[in-house]
Each structure stands twice: as C-alpha cells, then as structure tokens.
Chain A
Amino acid sequence: MGQVCWRRQGEVWEVRHLQDQDAVGQLRGVATLDELEEVVRWDGQGKYRPLRSEGNLVSGWQYHANSVREFREAMEVIYPGLWGNAEAWGDGRLKFQTWDEGVVKQTERVRNKVVKTGDLPRKVIEENCKKRCLKAILWAGEKPVDREAKMPMLCTGPCGMFWSFLEG
C-alpha cells in the first residue's frame, strides 16, 4: 500500500518501507505506535508532514505487529483511514464526496475564492494533489489503477491540505 510493504512470518507482521523490502539487519526497530507516529510525522529533512499519503515517507525502519489487529493499527498510523477505504472500495460500499458537497462545507471566504478564481480547483489538483499525494482522486474522476494487486489509496474528498493550498 503506497510506499509500505509487509511480510507475515507466523503471527508476526513485519511492516517496512517499500524501498527497504530486501534490507537485512540494517533497519531501525520501531517498538510502539507512538514511535511509529514519530516516524511518519516528519519527512527526510525533518519538516512536518501533514499529508500522510504524500510520497515522502522516510525509509530505514521496521515495525513488528504481533497480530492482525496490531498490523491494522500500524497501517492506520502510516496511512490514516486508507485501509478502511480500500476495504470499503473492495466491498463496493465506499462513499465519496462530490466537489459541490465539499465546497458547501467550507467557509464563505473559501467559497468566494472558488467562485472568483474559476479553474483554481483544477490547478490545485494538478499542482498539489497529483504531484504530492499517492491517492487516486475519486471525487475528481480518477480510478485506482492496479486494483487487484494491492490495497488502493483512495481520496474520498478535498482534504485539509487541498483547501490550505487553495487558500494560498
């Protein structure tokens, strides 16, 4: 899923960065979910990483989950909400917002900006979402690729980062 891979060995699920798929004995062990939170909170330059589905997850770590439940919680830390979305997509029950539903929830200031700037949302999708985020933008008409092979990362509505970028 995204930049993460996992391997099950008995009852242990070993989670690591895709880039470290074949690494042996060189990875830093991450023992708790709080430690894992710290791994995913920062990018390689030590900057805050508000968009956890951005393609800049740091490598060099591994987390051992001792049950399916722990594995699921680890994935929730790395890609919050996305495992559930992928399952719902697989079951055909995933719901996502339309653009109009997303806009109406915003403040008057944001709505006015959207009206005045015309094609700004499209630009934000091109300049922000598509360049940074690994999710397929369902609400903008994208379809997840390679659906059978992995857990797809799915965007179900304009997120905080989208609106922040739009507001400038």
Chain B
Amino acid sequence: MQFKDTALILAGHGSTKNADSSRFTRETAHRIRERGIFGEVRSAFWKEQPSYADALQGLKAKKAVVVPWFLANGYFTTKILKREFAEIAGVECRVTEPIGSRPEILGHFQKRAERLLEAKNWKPNQVSLLVASHGTPLHTGSSGAAIGLAEQLAKYGYRTARAVFLEEEPKIADWRVLVQEGPVVVLPHFLAGGLHGSEDVPELLGISGSREGWYRSENVEVGYGEPLGRPEEVEEMIIELAAAKA
C-alpha cells in the first residue's frame, strides 16, 4: 500500500498552554512518515505551528488526505476543517472521518476500564462508568460520539455508564449527583490528554492527578483512565482512514 503522490496531514487542535496537546500528533506523523506509505506526512494545528494553511503551502504533492485528530464528528471537524482545507495553494484536499470514528476506539476505551478494574479486582457491575467529553452547544456531533461510546460500554455490565461534558449537560462538575454511590471509573474522551484531559477534568473530579490509576475524591474512589492517542494506538487507524480516501 503506497500513495506516493499524496500527502497525509494529521490535523489537530493544539494548545498555547498545554505542552502535551500536540505531542502525540507530531510523534505519530514521524512514525507514519518512516513507513514510506505517503509521499509526505505533516501535522498541522489550529492553535500551534504549523497552521493548516502553512502546512499546505509547504507540500510538494498536489493531493492531500487530511485525517482529523479528533474523536468526534463535531463542530471542529465538520465546520472548521472542511473550511480550512477547502482548497489552498492548489492542493486538492480530502478530509476523512475523525480518528474517533474507527470501530477500534471502543476496544481501547474498554481496555482502560479493564485495567482499572483489575487493579482493584472488581467486576464491571461494582462500578459506575463515566465518559468525560467536551461537548458543545454549537454541534450535536461532539456529544453524540461520547454518548454512543457510553452506550456501547454499558453493554459490558457496568452499574451505570453515561457521558458527561465540559460544556453541555450533564456536566462533569455534577458527577457526584449522577453517580449516587462509588466507586466510579472515568474515561477521558480526549485525544492525548492536553489541557482538558490532564487538567480540567481531574480538577472537576476533585482528584489529585491525571495519570491512569485510582484516586480518592472525598469519600469516593475514582479510577481515571489514560487518554487515548499514543502513536502506537492510533497509527494503524490513521493509515486506514487515509488509505480509504487517498
């Protein structure tokens, strides 16, 4: 499988405040470039360098496949990325579905929950599970992805499984009301941690860290999962998404 006339662009959000927000995106781009499948491989960001426009202007290829480094087909992927990659500098761009659309995602989230349960020797029916996501009133796709994921995870037999949000109801901040009794497993629905996954969500949960493990928030035991996005986890998903559009 080779697409030498095509550039692959991993389009992420990035952050001006959090050093980890773009790290895995950049590292994944380096890994995929090494495999020689695409003519060029670049990462590009809304908040960091290179911007989407700058990444496109530097390409030798006249065709680019853009894989959104996002979990949901929400506001950013359907509005911003579509607009930004419409056509710049004579490069024909095709934007794929976001990474979060891949079916493997469910397995990666369930693995995190299983690791946390194993550490305590608990069964799913002994814990509640929350998928902590962003959500935005601007687009239903953002919350829809997290709600769908929580519904799928519920099939594993958790006491309850539901999605909670930073910017939509039900709010992450209200988690104590939603989970009447502990313990609770919280899976951050954010790629690569970043500001939300590593700072905002743990703060709202009242836990003292963001590494995968168990914490205590007042009298409730809270298991916090590792955010998705390690290069070895997402590399194949990205290639599959890109190859389908290349």
Please determine whether A81 and B19 come into contact, CB atoms closer than 8 angstroms. no
User: Nearest CB to that of B88 among chain A residues?
Assistant: A95
Q: Can you give 28 contacting A-B residue pairs, CB < 8 Å?
A: A34-B27, A37-B23, A50-B14, A50-B15, A50-B47, A52-B49, A73-B30, A76-B58, A80-B49, A80-B55, A81-B50, A81-B54, A81-B55, A84-B59, A85-B54, A85-B57, A85-B58, A88-B58, A95-B53, A95-B88, A105-B83, A157-B53, A160-B14, A160-B16, A160-B47, A160-B48, A160-B51, A164-B17
Please determine whether A156 and B16 come into contact, CB atoms closer than 8 angstroms. no
Report B-chain residues with C-beta under 8 Å of the C-beta of A161: 16
Please determine whether A76 and B48 come into contact, CB atoms closer than 8 angstroms. no
User: Nearest CB to that of B83 among chain A residues?
Assistant: A105
Interface string of A130-168 (1 = CB under 8 A from B): 000000000000000000000000001101110010000
User: Nearest CB to that of B84 among chain A residues?
Assistant: A105
Q: What's the minimum C-beta distance from A132 to chain B, rounded to whole angstroms?
A: 12
Tell me whether A156 and B27 are in contact in the complex, defined as CB-CB below 8 angstroms, given that A94-B57, A95-B89 are known contacts. no
Tell me whether A88 and B89 are in contact in the complex, defined as CB-CB below 8 angstroms, given that A37-B27, A50-B17 are known contacts. yes
Please determine whether B54 and A80 come into contact, CB atoms closer than 8 angstroms. yes
Please determine whether B19 and A51 come into contact, CB atoms closer than 8 angstroms. no
Residues 21 to 63 of chain B near chain A (Cβ within 8 Å): 23, 26-27, 30, 33, 42-51, 53-55, 57-59
Asked if A67 CB lies within 8 Å of chain B CBs, one says: no
Residue in contact with B49 in the complex, picked from A33, A53, A88, A164, CB distance below 8 Å: A53
User: Nearest CB to that of A77 among chain B residues?
Assistant: B26
Residue from the set B17, B30, B42, B50 with the largest chain A CB neighbour count within 10 Å = B50
Please determine whether B33 and A73 come into contact, CB atoms closer than 8 angstroms. yes
Report A-chain residues with C-beta under 8 Å of the C-beta of B46: 160
Asked if A116 CB lies within 8 Å of chain B CBs, one says: no
CA distance A97 to B59 in the complex (A): 18
CA distance A48 to B199 in the complex (A): 15
Report A-chain residues with C-beta under 8 Å of the C-beta of B43: 80
Asked if B208 CB lies within 8 Å of chain A CBs, one says: no
Report A-chain residues with C-beta under 8 Å of the C-beta of B58: 76, 81, 83-85, 87-88
Asked if A42 CB lies within 8 Å of chain B CBs, one says: yes
Binding site for A on B (CB under 8 A): 14-19, 23, 26-27, 30, 33, 42-51, 53-55, 57-59, 83, 88-89
User: Nearest CB to that of B47 among chain A residues?
Assistant: A160
- How many A residues, CB 8 Å from partner? 34
Report A-chain residues with C-beta under 8 Å of the C-beta of B45: 160
CA distance A82 to B54 in the complex (A): 7
Q: What's the minimum C-beta distance from A30 to chain B, rounded to whole angstroms?
A: 13
Residue in contact with B30 in the complex, picked from A34, A88, A93, A105, CB distance below 8 Å: A34
Report A-chain residues with C-beta under 8 Å of the C-beta of B17: 48, 50, 164
User: Nearest CB to that of A86 among chain B residues?
Assistant: B58
User: Nearest CB to that of B60 among chain A residues?
Assistant: A84
Tell me whether A157 and B89 are in contact in the complex, defined as CB-CB below 8 angstroms, given that A50-B15, A85-B58 are known contacts. no
Report B-chain residues with C-beta under 8 Å of the C-beta of A82: 49-50, 54
CA distance A34 to B58 in the complex (A): 21
Please determine whether B53 and A41 come into contact, CB atoms closer than 8 angstroms. no
